[in-house]
Amino acid sequence: MFERVSRSWGLVKASASILSADKELIVFPLISSIAALVILAAAYYVFPQFFTQASGQDLSLQFYAELFLFYLVLNTVVIYFNSALVGAALIRIRGGNPTVGDGFKIANSHLKAILGYAVISATVGIVLRWLSDRGSLGTIASSLGGLAWNLATFLAVPILVAENIGPFDAVRKSSELLKKTWGEQIVGNLSIGAVFGLIFLVVFLLGAVITIAALSAGLIVLAVSFAGLFIIVLIFLGILSNALGGIFSAAVYNYAATGSAGTLFGEDLIKGAFKEKAGTI
């Protein structure tokens, strides 16, 4: 167990080294986050019921149809920019020197597959939402279904951008590779989540204490300034976490699919991460 944690954490650190080598990769999650916020704001204005409607109620077919459209638009944007990030990361892992333009070219060349995957993801999202509206048991089933879906599709985006296959085949192959990579997926994502979760907590608490102290002293402008600053820091941490997550998925896929450790990953580290379950690749 401890060896698997150590290896997976090593993969996370190697992913960070890729982001350090190609800092411009942060552009993709940055634009994605901005676009997602715009979509969320527009949806809140046009369809406020998405955010105010409590679960466990008997909702109309129109509600689910409109929610599907919202999921589709949001998923398309997020998957598109994640595809650009993962595509550029794969270039670096395989010894190249990617640019932002390379990432966009890769995403643009797979637009049809990206849209198809967005449709699948939106459909799954609607099914999970419908389940959560069925009561307590439905909420549990929705949570478990969402976890299973996230695990099964962890490598779907890397597969979409690296292989000339459709979205259904990408989902199928991702679920097949799960047998090799489940430990790295879980522990690696937990490692990223734990590190950034701790940083989030520290920044949030620090921001809250300073803001409250400034308000107590009657320094309204200073309090607002500090609150705005800490919000920006939290947003940046979220973007950085998403960037590392995308790079990490590209690294896991690269070895699971090709057996190659890449230029920034030590052979012992990457081979050790899969030797327990890989067999013959």
pLDDT of 106 reads: 94
List Cα–Cα distances, 37 to 40, 104, 129, 235, in angstroms. Answer: 5, 20, 21, 11
Cα–Cα distance, 177 to 52 (Å, whole number) = 38
**Residue 85: count of CB within 10 angstroms of its CB:** 31
pLDDT of 16 reads: 79
Mean pLDDT to the nearest integer, 72-90 = 94
pLDDT of 6 reads: 61
pLDDT confidence band for 203 (50 / 70 / 90): confident
Residue 57 reports pLDDT greater than 70: no
pLDDT of 278 reads: 42
pLDDT of 120 reads: 95
pLDDT of 279 reads: 42
> Between 87 and 187, where is the model more confident?
87
pLDDT of 276 reads: 46
Lowest mean pLDDT among 8-22, 52-66, 205-219: 52-66
pLDDT confidence band for 269 (50 / 70 / 90): low
> Between 267 and 148, where is the model more confident?
148
Residue 260 reports pLDDT greater than 50: yes
Instruction: Tell whether pTM > 0.85.
Output: no
Burial of residue 80, with CB atoms counted within 10 A of its CB: 0-12 exposed, 13-18 middle, 19 or more buried = buried
Residue 73 reports pLDDT greater than 90: yes
pLDDT of 254 reads: 82
Domain boundaries, the chain: 2-274
List Cα–Cα distances, 12 to 108, 125, 210, 243, 274, in angstroms. Answer: 28, 28, 32, 11, 15
